Amino acid sequence: MKRIILLALILIYGQQALPQAQRELTIDDLTKWNRITEKVISDDGSIIAFKTEPWDGDPTVTLYDNGGSLRASFSCATGVKITSDSRFLIFTIKPAEDTVRVLKLRKTKKDDMPLDMLGIYNVSKVKTDTVTRLKSFKLPEKWSGWIAYQTEPVKEKAPAKGQNAEKGEAEKVKVEAEKEKKEGEKEIPAGKKENGRKPKSESADNGYALIIMNLNTGVTDTVKFVTEYLFIEEAEMLICATTGDEKSLEPGVILIDLKKGSRVALYTGKAKFKQLTADKKGERVAFIATEEEKDKTGNTYSLYYWEGKGTAVKAAAKGTAGIPEGWIINENGRLAFGEKSRRLFFGTSPAYMVKDTTVLDEDRPNVDVWHYNEGKLHTAQVIAKARDARKNYTAVFHADLKRVVQLATPEMPDIQLIDKGDAPRVLALSNLPYEVQSMWEGNQRYNVWLADVLTGAVQQLKENLNARVRVSPAGKYLYWYQSSDSSWYNYDLAGSREYRLTDVGTLPCYDELNDVPDAADSYPPAGWLKDDKAFLVSDRYDIWSLDPKAGRAPVNVTANGRADRITYRLIDFDPENEYIDPSVKQYLLGINAVNKGSAYYSLDLKKKDVPLQLMGGSFSLGTPVKALKEDILIYTKEDFGMFPDYLLADLTFTGEKRLTNANPQQKDFLWGTAEQVRWISLDGREVEGLLYKPEGFDPSKKYPMIVNFYEKSSTELYRHRIPEAGRSTIDYHYYTSNGYLVFNPDIHYTDGYPGQSAFNCVMPGIMSLVEKGFVDVKRIGAQGHSWGGYQVAYLATRTDLFAAIESGAPVVNMYSAYGGIRWESGANRSMQYEHQQSRIGATIWEAPQRYWENSPLFSMDKVTTPILIMANDADGAVPWYQGIEYFIAMRRLGKPVWLLNYNGEPHWPIKEPNKKDFQIRMSQFFHHYLKDEPMPKWMKEGIPATEKEFTLGY
């Protein structure tokens, strides 16, 4: 008997010790998956913070030390920052989503909804302080010890008739009153007038109290009614604009020395202030202001300049010599100081037009007039109206000469500073003469000038240049890539001479994989060496050093990239550093074009050695983030089954420590594997693709398969693909977890035949897998969105292989799409067909047959596959009438088709409930046709418009 009891206990406890069986992912599981959306490492590398958040739910900020230990965790936190002395973690605390949801269900008024809070965590004291009703906060970036913030005022509630105000509100008013009393103000009972006037209240126009806190002591200072504020970049100072408190604090602009505890009034008087700007040391300050506080047009601003003594002087205003007649100081113009020169760059513009208020709006015609020869298409003008209304033109104030020079003009509108504004000239550009042809070309052409900073006189350098001109960091050269001859050029500013730095015969810098009917772009340049001594560019694999004056042949600094088929790219650890210092070791990320693995390398630019591999393997590496002052960094490593959690190491990449563990629940689910596959296309090319298999894949079994593709994805063999209820595509993990194969083939395009190109690559790829015996040939589906949606719609007209297809935001009629509008930008779509993704390479008049044969609509009678379409009525990329044309054609032909329109959503659903709904319906669609699951109600019967609010039909 004892033996029986003992055996039973062993069985019971043994079962409890067994690992829990893994299960299939559900759509609900996808919404709970976490992403790491923020990362911050302290300057000394001692602490590292991350924000982790699910697709649906509250974020969490976690803090680690450089030993890999978790130090703290904060719920509902976002916008994390670390002070430069590593002593404090600062973040915003959002109201919990569940709390907000409950209050919304109760129809809570907006003013009564919970507001953000400020979190201040003291690392050494392990203590968190909070500030309620947070409006904004700022930290100095390059020094520490202070924070400034503003809070939303408490809004008083009028008591109901015959009743006192609610107790809670009375308490709030009392707290606020006591707070003001402590700050030295006379306590005023809520709602009571002082001296016959209602006390000044905080608002967007009046400003809000600015609290300046010493983080080390907790002592605060307050400036009331502040409309704008900023910390000086490299000095312990702060400047702010205030409208004054009508008592002891005068309105104006104040410079506060936080070290000395002193204040200097840079401007005193009632005004509306904008564009507070200071140089790095706080030795110069500029802003614009208008004393016409009721000016709604913005025509009365003046530019003010302060240079260390006295008060700010008026540097420029409407009518100042040098500013064109009828022009104003534009309130939207960014202010910028020359770094070493006494120059201040600002914006001007023609005065704003004033609306005739003697005419009623209903008496005014409401019409858009489209003109065939206006530069920007009218639909694009409408989209850009608000931005264009803020258009301004760069001018410069020379403080040493007390002179204003207008640099930009309506005919020459765009200015780039050279040598941070200290050079004798600036770069000026205009694409205006070429705007009409950009409608179908899709790219920009420019006229290029140099403008004299002292006189405004211009020298034209280029006309009709189809390239983007940039300025070298030290300001010695202009440089550009000319796609028409696939070459890099530069212009020596001192020598006034142009140099061609590369040609196709010596260095192929053009994108070798370009497959659109347009000239190929370059690979991204690596950057300039210090003092502009050399320019580093990239080909498909290697990094090359170019002599800016073409005095030597290009030098391959990575040496072995092409030979070993490794694509090298420099890692920039300091985004503020504008150049590459050859005296320090450089670091690179290399990706192997054959096996798709990646590695980190080091490189000594002074030697001719190949890059030294530090760490690498069969995974994908992210771009590392380094501590500013120490050789400590964080980075990610991922593959299909490994989430890109963050790792900690030094610059040798040895002894790595794992920090985050964003999704520990992954172990509970069936997952799958990814592998590379190859086959030969129908037109004889070797094609690569990716095949994703279910967990526990058995090659002797038959599996349903979904084909999903866009253009080329085989380089993503080691991409993790974070599970999500996605907006436009299948979730690979969900489908492999539920027993599907997922096939992702590359497409190689031939100009003029995009549909046939997809067919040539996809169909033999599918058959190469069918021949292996594990694909159920009767249960193959396809899914694509946008360009992918077009391609799967085309395939449905050419084959009956597919049992079901989901086609999202597809173009099915290239004729109507050619003349369509991308409503998000207002741009015409013709450029896509003549030069870009749609790859026809000609107009509808030059090649009408190509438009016809590539349009699925005209072969819809051949479709035998059930189709699920998603086309949303606010789509700004593909006009949703393309989806309607698709649906109507299938409906007219009596073929099974469903259309999902997520009301008010753009090219894909953005709202989480809509994304989840799309994934549920798409999975039900595929489960029915590929796994014989019952047809849901929405597929069998539809959802009548009268029942939309009451049932989902799942």
Task: Let me know: does 833 contact 516? Beta carbons within 8 Å.
Answer: no
Can you tell me which residue has the tokens 């058959």?
767
Tallying the residues shown for the chain, one arrives at 954
Q: How far apart are CA 926 and CA 479, in angstroms?
A: 52
Q: How far apart are CA 300 and CA 291, in angstroms?
A: 8
Strands 703-708 and 741-745: parallel
Q: How far apart are CA 598 and CA 637, in angstroms?
A: 10
- Strand boundaries in 874-926, DSSP class E: 897-900
pLDDT tens digit sequence for 24-41: 999 999 999 999 999 999
Buried b (16+ CB within 10 A) or exposed e, 752-783: bbbbbbbbbbbbbbbebbeeeebbbeebbbbb
Please check the confidence at residue 173 and state whether its pLDDT lies above 50.
no
One-letter amino acid of 201: S
Please check the confidence at residue 177 and state whether its pLDDT lies above 90.
no
Please check the confidence at residue 4 and state whether its pLDDT lies above 70.
no
pLDDT for position 166 = 39
Please check the confidence at residue 198 and state whether its pLDDT lies above 90.
no
Total H helices, total E strands in the chain: 17, 55
User: How far is it between the farthest Cα atoms of the chain?
Assistant: 110
- Mean pLDDT, range 256-267, rounded to an integer: 95
DSSP for 133-157? Answer: SEEEEE--SSS-SEEEEEEPPPPP-
Please check the confidence at residue 5 and state whether its pLDDT lies above 90.
no
Please check the confidence at residue 93 and state whether its pLDDT lies above 70.
yes
In this prediction, residue 384 has a pLDDT band, given cuts at 50, 70 and 90, of: confident
pLDDT for position 357 = 85
pLDDT for position 914 = 97
> How many CA atoms lie within 13 Å of 944's alpha carbon, on the beta-carbon side?
2
In this prediction, residue 382 has a pLDDT band, given cuts at 50, 70 and 90, of: confident
What does pLDDT average to over the chain?
Answer: 93
Task: Let me know: does 44 contact 86? Beta carbons within 8 Å.
Answer: yes
- Mean pLDDT, range 634-651, rounded to an integer: 98
Can you tell me which residue has the tokens 């347009």?
518
DSSP for 776-791? Answer: EEEEEEEEEETHHHHH
Total Cβ atoms within 10 A of residue 830: 21
pLDDT for position 194 = 55
- Mean pLDDT, range 280-286, rounded to an integer: 97
Comparing CA positions, the residue from 54, 33, 59 lying closest to residue 721 is 33
3-state secondary structure at position 898: strand
Q: How far apart are CA 523 and CA 396, in angstroms?
A: 35
Q: How far apart are CA 845 and CA 840, in angstroms?
A: 12
Q: How far apart are CA 19 and CA 668, in angstroms?
A: 9
- Mean pLDDT, range 615-625, rounded to an integer: 97
- Mean pLDDT, range 683-705, rounded to an integer: 97
pLDDT for position 804 = 98
Comparing CA positions, the residue from 740, 694, 687, 692 lying closest to residue 719 is 692
Total Cβ atoms within 10 A of residue 879: 22
Q: How far apart are CA 577 and CA 570, in angstroms?
A: 13
Lowest mean pLDDT among 55-69, 159-173, 313-327, 499-513: 159-173
pLDDT for position 590 = 98
pLDDT tens digit sequence for 467-524: 999 999 999 999 999 999 999 999 999 999 999 999 998 899 999 999 999 999 999 9
pLDDT for position 162 = 46
Q: How far apart are CA 447 and CA 455, in angstroms?
A: 20
In this prediction, residue 199 has a pLDDT band, given cuts at 50, 70 and 90, of: confident
In this prediction, residue 557 has a pLDDT band, given cuts at 50, 70 and 90, of: very high
Q: Torsions phi, psi of 394, nearest 5?
A: -65, 130
- Mean pLDDT, range 726-747, rounded to an integer: 97
Cα angle for residues 301, 303, 305 (degrees, 5° grid): 155
Question: Which comes out higher in pLDDT, residue 357 or 418?
Answer: 418
pLDDT tens digit sequence for 289-347: 999 978 889 999 999 999 999 999 999 999 999 999 999 999 999 999 999 999 999 99
Please check the confidence at residue 417 and state whether its pLDDT lies above 60.
yes
In this prediction, residue 889 has a pLDDT band, given cuts at 50, 70 and 90, of: very high
Q: What is the 3-state secondary structure (H, E, C) of 421-476?
A: HCCCEEEEEECHHHHHHHHHHCCCCEEEEEEECCCCCEEEEEEEECCCCEECCCCC
pLDDT for position 186 = 39
Task: Let me know: does 344 contact 307? Beta carbons within 8 Å.
Answer: no
Please check the confidence at residue 6 and state whether its pLDDT lies above 60.
no
> How many CA atoms lie within 13 Å of 846's alpha carbon, on the beta-carbon side?
9
pLDDT for position 178 = 46
Q: Which helix (H) or strand (E) holds 830?
A: helix 830-834
Q: How far apart are CA 847 and CA 779, in angstroms?
A: 37
* CB-based contacts of 879-883 (< 8 A; 24+ apart in sequence): 879/816, 879/817, 879/820, 879/821, 879/823, 880/809, 881/816, 882/809, 882/810, 882/811, 882/812, 882/813, 882/816, 882/817, 882/820, 883/809, 883/810
In this prediction, residue 157 has a pLDDT band, given cuts at 50, 70 and 90, of: low
* CB-based contacts of 787-790 (< 8 A; 24+ apart in sequence): 787/710, 787/711, 787/837, 787/838, 788/708, 788/709, 788/710, 788/729, 789/878, 790/754, 790/755, 790/856
Q: Torsions phi, psi of 493, nearest 5?
A: -70, -40
DSSP letter for 106, please.
Answer: T
pLDDT tens digit sequence for 420-437: 999 999 999 999 999 989
Comparing CA positions, the residue from 121, 117, 34 lying closest to residue 71 is 121
Task: Let me know: does 524 contact 480? Beta carbons within 8 Å.
Answer: no
Tokens found for residue 418: 């050279």
- Mean pLDDT, range 917-924, rounded to an integer: 98
In this prediction, residue 898 has a pLDDT band, given cuts at 50, 70 and 90, of: very high
Residue 85, classified by CB atoms within 10 Å of its CB into exposed (0-12), middle (13-18) or buried (19+), is: middle
Please check the confidence at residue 543 and state whether its pLDDT lies above 60.
yes
Tokens found for residue 144: 């520490």
Tokens found for residue 46: 């001692």
pLDDT for position 163 = 47
pLDDT for position 158 = 58
Please check the confidence at residue 719 and state whether its pLDDT lies above 60.
yes
> How many CA atoms lie within 13 Å of 487's alpha carbon, on the beta-carbon side?
14
Comparing CA positions, the residue from 394, 393, 397, 207 lying closest to residue 286 is 397
Comparing CA positions, the residue from 925, 626, 651 lying closest to residue 782 is 925
Q: How far apart are CA 721 and CA 642, in angstroms?
A: 10
**What percentage of residues in the chain have a pLDDT greater than 90?**
87
pLDDT tens digit sequence for 836-879: 999 999 999 999 999 999 999 999 999 999 999 999 999 999 99
Tokens found for residue 80: 């994390």
